[in-house]
A and B are shown apart, each in its own frame.
Chain A
Amino acid sequence: SQQGEEDPQALSIQEGENATMNCSYKTSINNLQWYRQNSGRGLVHLILIRSNEREKHSGRLRVTLDTSKKSSSLLITASRAADTASYFCATDENAGGTSYGKLTFGQGTILTVHP
């Protein structure tokens, strides 16, 4: 079953604009991760934020986590056509324990960046 929802389901922007995707989840977590998937290929790990962190940056990516609202957002700044992909949030749910390899994924946001 899916952990939660991602919003929006699809996002279309112009190159140079910022893209923001949101993710909600239902249970306590160890961490939350964001992945990118190009055209039905494998997933690429983008960034991981732990449950005791509120914000994290990596290059043009900024992730926030609000555990009180059980939500996260991914911001991609200065988008490029090459950023066109599906973006998924995934939670490692076993707070305080070990999830043993299980991530629970959202439904994903399809991002299209027009040149």
Chain B
Amino acid sequence: KAGVTQTPRYLIKTRGQQVTLSCSPISGHRSVSWYQQTPGQGLQFLFEYFSETQRNKGNFPGRFSGRQFSNSRSEMNVSTLELGDSALYLCASSARTGGLYGYTFGSGTRLTVV
């Protein structure tokens, strides 16, 4: 059974640009969550999607957005990149609502904004 796949693994962007990250969950998992990890703030929840609907959102500016497709694959987009957006972005999938059995994380996308 394939794990959670995130692409690309590494990305370097310039301030002001936008970026799109992709996440393919485990087959059959319909919930996909996104997290940002930085040395200063740690792991912070961005948003969660289930059956193409955003059900929960963390405390991030509107520059951070996402979507989920009918095959449960998810993308997140960050517009007008800032230096502070440099981080490891992780997505996680779950078969059930609320992570009753825990979440499976991808290896992450390391975004560097210069």
Contacts and interface: CB of A to CB of B under 8 A. Distances in A.
B18 interface: no
B10 to A, nearest CB: 11
Contacts of B7: none
Interface string A28-70: 0011010100001111110010000000000000000000000
Interface in A79-115: 88, 90, 92, 94, 98-108
B31 A42 contact: no
A9 to B, nearest CB: 12
A100 B97 contact: yes
A37 to B, nearest CB: 9
B21 interface: no
B33 interface: yes
A27 interface: no
Nearest to B3: A42
B42 A99 contact: no
A33 B102 contact: yes
A2 interface: yes
Nearest to B101: A48
B55 interface: yes
Contacts of B97: 98, 100
Contact of B94 (A40, A44, A101, A105): A101
A102 B102 contact: no
A interface SS class: loop
A54 B108 CA distance: 32
B90 to A, nearest CB: 6
Given A2-B42, A98-B97, A45 B110 contact: no
Interface of B: 4, 6, 31-33, 35, 42-45, 47-50, 55-56, 58-59, 88, 90, 92, 94, 97-108, 110
19 contacts: A30-B98, A40-B108, A41-B108, A43-B105, A45-B103, A48-B99, A48-B101, A90-B43, A98-B97, A100-B48, A101-B32, A101-B50, A101-B94, A101-B103, A102-B58, A103-B33, A103-B103, A104-B45, A105-B44
